[in-house]
Structure 1
């Protein structure tokens, strides 16, 4: 399950004046749509493994980069949950057909949950075959960032409109803008029951330094009791990209797909 060499160039579509990079392969449904995390892209390890699994099993797989990420255009600092959600919905409607399993990693899980809400609101709950949420970080701006801010950091955020914090995954710091945090409050999902209309599987590392596993337990409280599975990985970190983690991801995805196929008349 290594990286794909000489991968074809992405297709570019315009969403709100910005070029969004998409890689889509046709195959059988239910398909899989990948939703990456904050500052990650569709050529990361987990996304590549999903693509290879799709090839091996003849399954439709769709990946894209949010604006300001990867091969897409746009300025990262102008990104918000609303903007990235809108881009993800545009890709979903333009490229996918039939039912889909949304696979969201970290912030991508928040985007996936918001997509569910918007699709259900639009009367398209039948397009949802399952949710696979990896180290999910719904509402991370209000639940995980804001409570940790010092008075000085709040002042900097208010005066400069952005805050930089060191990243253990990159030489470049994480940048959190005031617009991102303000917009995050308008996209909260941990305020009531999230009726997914499909089975959900959560993979969460208990050694995750970025999103505490208790956050995944909190998410459970907001999901319907039926058809929700939580797998806690005692020594798992936030990335969950080790061979054993990737194996768990594929196992969970395969199970979600089999359930969906079993429900097909």
Structure 2
């Protein structure tokens, strides 16, 4: 089993940051067939993320590849998923070598990771080249844009909307709010998970690390996601397969989950996923 370790804050070298269209990404290759793909949350950048730095250090220590990218400010969640898939395909799946992917999604990045993993495993051009080793959600939330639309639709909240832009208050934004386009929220509806039937099989382990004090993604949403995942795992795996959906609850944790003790738990989950190298063929489409 891999050891746990402490991260030191680092900067991703500007000359190593690449782009695909308007999307910045960072790829560190290794001799391993396993690559960790980190997907940041809404309006979060891998360049300033404590979790991104920690994950990169972990991959360096264990000779695992590392791939991460930012999101377009506008477009839609559907477009963000396609952009992430395009980066993975171009960087990792352009050769004949089989690749193992370990997804880590922060907040809304969990939603993207589930979508991207599904698209890769059902794309006839790449499905034989890739195995999804596992997926870890940190403070993971899905269908976030629809929850925000419901929040916006409550007249008693006195929301600040002008010219199709919602100034949604946020403690994570330097100016105290995010400017969110209503068109972005509505255009993201085709990517919704929980009320959709287009994903009916999940054949890899999923670990959800969540804080009991998370006000951004309440526990009720996490339990709903966990139930959704389990229904799509157990219906497509052998009856002898043990439960592949896990919730790691941090009783005093909030949404960020970037404290040393939070990152130590993340290490433990990473180690578990990285050790499961000989998954049954039924885990891969």
Above 0.5 in TM-score?
Answer: yes
Choose the corresponding residue for 2:179, options 152, 162, 175. 175
1:73 equivalent in structure 2: none
Q: For residues 50 and 131 of structure 2, what CA distance do their matches in structure 1 show?
A: 26
| Residue 252 (structure 2) pairs with residue 235 (structure 1) | yes
| Residue 221 (structure 2) pairs with residue 215 (structure 1) | yes
2:64 equivalent in structure 1: 59
Q: For residues 20 and 148 of structure 2, what CA distance do their matches in structure 1 show?
A: 31
1:117 equivalent in structure 2: 118
RMSD of aligned alpha carbons:
2.2
Distance 1:215 1:194, change over 3 A: farther
Tell me how many residue pairs correspond in the alignment. 250
Give the secondary structure class of the aligned counterpart of 2:253: coil
* Aligned positions of 1:39-188 closer than 5 A: 39-43=43-47, 44-67=49-72, 76=73, 78-97=74-93, 98-123=99-124, 124=127, 126-142=130-146, 144-149=147-152, 150-151=154-155, 160-172=163-175, 173-188=177-192
Tell me by how many angstroms 1:146 deviates: 2.2
Q: For residues 202 and 56 of structure 2, what CA distance do their matches in structure 1 show?
A: 24
Tell me by how many angstroms 1:117 deviates: 2.4
Give TM-score, length-normalised by structure 1: 0.86
Unaligned runs of 5+ in 2: 1-6, 94-98, 235-242
Q: Deviations over 1:68-120 (max 9, x none)?
A: xxxxxxxx2x2321221121111111122501011111111111111122123
Give TM-score, length-normalised by structure 2: 0.81
Deviates more, 1:129-138 or 1:144-153: 144-153
* Aligned 8 A contact 2:75 2:187 in 1: no
